[in-house]
Amino acid sequence: MEKPIEIVLLKQAEDFLNEIEEPVRRKFFVSMRKTKSRIFGDWFKKMVGTSDIYEFRVGSKGKFYRLFSFWDSRDGKQTLVICTHGLIKKSNKTPKYELGKAEDIKDKYFKGLI
């Protein structure tokens, strides 16, 4: 039997979701529910050129919403998807500093600093 997947929102991710429009927030929660059910698709992708940083992806009204995350499967009982922070962009290109920020948060998390 596979370990269950749980989604954890760090403070910045939670703040981001609280600040965006309700319809977009709902799309993120649908994506998270699918991921927790081990249904994967375009809404949750690994970022190319990163050390296992993923993003939840939502589009609405010509804007691209992203919620960065990574996996923590150290626990023998469940697997966690840790959401670090989010952003709204007008193009589909992700700024490198945002990916670096997600990787820094991931490093601090695994060092026990978060």
Half-sphere exposure of 108 (CA within 13 A, CB side): 10
Asked if residue 32 has pLDDT above 80, the reply is yes
DSSP secondary structure code for residue 75 in this structure: S
For position 3, what pLDDT does the model report?
83
**Under a CB-based contact definition with an 8 Å cutoff, are residues 80 and 8 in contact?**
yes
pTM attached to this predicted model: 0.91
Structure confidence at residue 40 as a pLDDT band (50, 70, 90)? confident
| Domains defined along the chain, listed by start | 5-110 (3.30.2310.20)
Q: Give residue-wise pLDDT tens across range 48-99.
A: 888 899 999 999 888 999 999 999 988 878 899 999 999 998 877 888 899 9
Q: How far apart are CA 67 and CA 85, in angstroms?
A: 6
